[in-house]
Amino acid sequence: METSNFTLTRGSLSETVGPSGSGKGHVIKRCPNCGDQIYSHFMGLNNLLVLKTTTLSNANELPPQAHVFLDSKLEWLKLSDNIPKFDKFYRREEIYSDESLERMKIALQ
C-alpha cells in the first residue's frame, strides 16, 4: 500500500533492518511492546509499504492473496486452501488486480 495511506493511530513503532530477497534489504516496523511486525518498507519500492494485515482489527476483511517462500516452509505447516502458492515470490501481474497494479505503478514513480 502507499505510505500516504497508512496512519499509526496511537503509540510508536520500533525499527530494525533485515535482509530481503532482492538483496537491498528492508526496514521492519514493529510494536515495541510485543515485537509483532506491523509493516515493512522494502528498499527500492519508494512510496510503498507491506502491511501485515493480521495485525489489523479487521484482518478477516483482508485475506491473503498468495503464500510465498514455501521452499522454506516448515514441514508440519499444511496449506489446504485454494490460495496460490509459490516457492519464492510471485510475479505481481499474476496476483494483483488491475487497480492494484496501477496504484503501484503511480507510487513507484
User: Residue 60, CB half-sphere, CA atoms under 13 Å: how many?
Assistant: 0
**Domains of the chain by residue range:** 1-62, 64-109
Provide the terminal-to-terminal Cα distance of the chain, rounded to the nearest Å.
Answer: 14
6, 16, 19, 50, 53 from 26: Cα distances, Å: 17, 9, 6, 10, 18
As a whole-number percent, the residues of the chain with pLDDT over 70 amount to: 100
Strands 14-18 and 37-42: unpaired
> In one letter, which amino acid is 23?
G
Query: pLDDT value at position 30?
Result: 93
Query: Binning pLDDT at 50, 70 and 90, where does residue 5 land?
Result: confident
Burial environment of residue 78 by CB neighbours within 10 A (0 to 12, 13 to 18, 19 or more) = exposed
* Residue 48 to residue 6: CA distance in whole angstroms: 10
pLDDT at 47 over 90: no
For residue 77, what is the enclosing H or E element?
none
Query: Binning pLDDT at 50, 70 and 90, where does residue 16 land?
Result: very high
Nearest to 72 by CA among 3, 2, 35, 21: 21
